[in-house]
Chains A and B, each alone.
Chain A
Amino acid sequence: MENLFDLFVRNVFIENMVFAYFLGMCSYLAVSKTVKTAVGLGTAVIFVITVTVPVNWLMENYLLKAGALKWLGSSFADLDLSFLSFLLFIAVIAAMVQLIEMVIEKFAPALYNALGIFLPLIAVNCSILGASLFMQEREYGTIAEAAVFALGAGVGWALAIIVLAAIREKLKYSNVPAPLRGLGIAFILTGLLAIAFMGFGGIVI
């Protein structure tokens, strides 16, 4: 139990998807102009990442990994399909995004309206596929670990985009040099935020 909490905190702060791995940068920079949209996209990312990583964990462990097909019979025991993982992971993500969209539309129309166009956009947000690929690389032992890792990664991403959006809202009132306005200053801000987040790096949990 203790370990799962450590894993969560580590993935929110220390191994933050945005500040340590630069994942999901495109939508991070494009959608962070107001806090409201940032909260919408952040929620959608937490949701999708927490659903897709455990599903991909099942795929990895019962379908793709060397020897994962043992449950089909001994003749499949040494089959290694891991070269197909990109294709399968992205298909799972695209399908889950579609499925989640339909479920939310049916059962929670208010949430559906709040998330709006962000849900379909998430299929190409690299933090989602990135989380699945990290899950594969780090070889999490149980599905619970994979799920907690995914939740932490999603919360970390949402936190990062909301912080940037809040700063950019205030930035409207400051006098930025013309060529740096917009994209340029957003990059530099993200860099400064990343330096701040490096402060968490020394924490031993």
Chain B
Amino acid sequence: MKHLKLLTNPLNDENPITVQVLGICSVLAVTVQMKPAIVMAVSVIVVTALSNLIISLLRATIPPRIRIIIQLVVIAFLVILVDQILKAFLYDVSKKLSVFVGLIITNCILMGRLEAFAMNNRPWESFLDGIGNGAGYGIILIALSTIRELFGSGSLLGYQVIPEGLYKLGYVDNGMMILPPMALITVGIMIWVQRGYNKKLIEK
């Protein structure tokens, strides 16, 4: 039961994006289309889970004064692995993600969870916490990219879903959705909707 909470809490009550405000940068930049967003979500889940696990295994031996450098080295090592794997098997997606795979290193979700959780919890719990937080991040990423791709280009995962006939009747794709500002405003509205349902998250 307690373990299940570790997985489900970050999806809503402690969502890394909409509640903890961690890791916003990449959410906004990689969500123009669904495919890069899904790849990014999976990469982040892998890195958060494994870095939490490794740091938690090492937590007794890490001297507190140099812990940030050690954490960054572990994260950077995992991110290099992910980056090389993407370059080898999904080259076009990795080109689209450009610097944002590298920026997983400075994604605050990682440092935040390592500091707040993995440094004082056992490996299995830390691993679950990593997966949970990665998934909480992934959910927002996928929801946002679905909205943006559907309204911005009329397609999902690259397949046209809005029928030709509708365009002939005068329907036009909303070009603003592809541009950066609408990503911010859409996240703002998602926060609004979430807090409308979940009253305890409302800020004073």
Contact = CB atoms under 8 A, between A and B. Distances in A.
A185 B188 contact: yes
B204 to A, nearest CB: 8
B99 A134 contact: yes
Nearest to B193: A179
Interface stretch (B24-32, B35-43, B157-165): B24-32
Nearest to A177: B192
Contacts of B72: 90-91, 94, 123
Contacts of B111: 124
A181 B202 CA distance: 7
Contacts of B84: 83
Give chain B's interface residue range (CB within 8 Å of chain A).
35 or more
Contacts of B29: 21-22
A52 to B, nearest CB: 13
A196 B73 CA distance: 39
Contact of A180 (B180, B183, B192): B192
A130 interface: yes
Interface string B95-108: 00011001101111
A22 B31 CA distance: 12
A183 B193 CA distance: 13
Interface in A116-164: 123-126, 128-130, 133-134, 137
A204 interface: no
A180 B191 contact: yes
Contacts of A94: 68-69, 72
Interface stretch (B48-56, B75-83, B128-136): B75-83
A182 to B, nearest CB: 3
B184 interface: yes
Contacts, number: 134
Contacts of A4: none
A129 B105 contact: yes
A11 B18 CA distance: 29
B134 to A, nearest CB: 16
Contact of A191 (B24, B181, B195, B204): B181
B195 A180 contact: yes
Interface stretch (A23-31, A42-50, A56-64, A67-75): A23-31
A128 to B, nearest CB: 8
B103 A126 contact: yes
A194 B181 contact: yes
Contacts of B108: 26, 124
Nearest to A129: B106
Contacts of A20: 180
17 contacts: A19-B180, A20-B180, A21-B180, A23-B25, A86-B76, A90-B105, A90-B106, A126-B103, A130-B103, A133-B99, A137-B99, A179-B194, A180-B191, A184-B188, A187-B188, A190-B184, A191-B183
Interface of B: 18, 21-26, 28-29, 68-69, 72-73, 76-77, 79-80, 83-84, 98-99, 102-103, 105-108, 111, 179-185, 187-189, 191-196, 199, 201-204
Given A130-B103, A198-B179, 6 more contacts: A29-B24, A30-B21, A179-B196, A180-B188, A194-B184, A198-B181
Q: Which 4 A-B pairs have the closest CB atoms?
A: A187-B188, A182-B203, A191-B184, A179-B195
